[in-house]
Structure 1
Amino acid sequence: MACAISLPQSVAAQCRLCATDSSTLSSNRAPEQNEIPLNIEITANLDFSRLALLNRAGGEVELDPQSGQRRISGALTDLGGLSLHGEGRLTGAPGRLVRVQLPERIILSAPNGATAELAKLDTDLPAQARLGGDGRLTFSFGGRLRVTGNASGQFRGRIAITADYE
């Protein structure tokens, strides 16, 4: 069993402050005439590497977003290979506060129809993340992969990551 989460290489982030309709703004501030759009680029995909399911009880493997350390529990065993936490880069208006949101969970699928769940997605960003003076902010993300039953295959899925100015 191998798992790689593929993400679009360049995805336009949601930018509520760029909207012209004042009802869609996320703050009381009026949008500036030359607002710099907020963009997100995924620079490294999340990859749990190769694992084997020992019995139907299943197990979990977690990738820490800060250290990239992989923790395996339950009836999974490591078959070697390199696991990677995901990495992304935001670009936009220098010094602006941003909010990055990840889905609660996604279902991954293998070509043979087997599924696994990716949950507890998290980033290494602080609660109040801010773009640097150059308008950039790099972050890492990880999560917990749950495999049960007789699931096998190379699991893939897409993570919808959104980013907004605060």
Structure 2
Amino acid sequence: MLYWNVLIKVQKHNFSPAYLLLEKLGRVYQSDFEDLLLVKVESIPQFLAECDRAFKKDAHLLNLFERIVPVTKTFDFQSQEEFETQAKEIVMDWIPMLADKKFYVRMHRIGFKDRIDRHEEETFLDLVILQELENIGKPGQIGGVDPDMIVAVETVTERAGLACWTRQDLQAYPWLGSGLLVPQ
């Protein structure tokens, strides 16, 4: 099993230059999926800052990538039930950040499409968050237009990664948003 905390979808025909750039930032793994690199970095904030510096220095580097999605929590799962249990546990830790906010859950799956339904899991996590926010008296709202927060969920076969990004994160790192806003 590859242990990663950054998922990178490379633009077609840019695999080698993307790999060379990323290996300066962390341990890079070639996945079993076309144009998909998985990276293990020591620090997500440091990774974000180093990528941002590189992209500001040479904006053409952005053309190497289709999506760059760091995640802050990862876990392995073998079933939908196991996925839901672990994902719920993670989002429950983020309830204080989501209080009184407009948010949405965005899931991208690579592999396991016959075992995990993206729409079903997004709805499941949306409802978990809404119910808990209601329970603590800090209701939230699901909203895909100009959200305060995005809960990003990435799966590559039986490994999942989750992150909670703020509007300020997406403004600071606009290249990050492209991986979170567009469903696949």
Same structural fold, with TM-score higher than 0.5 when normalized by the shorter chain: no
More strand by share: 1
Structure with more relative contact order (C-alpha pairs < 8 Å, separation 6 or more):
1
* TM-score, L = length of structure 2: 0.25
State the TM-score, normalizing by the size of structure 1: 0.27
More helix by share: 2
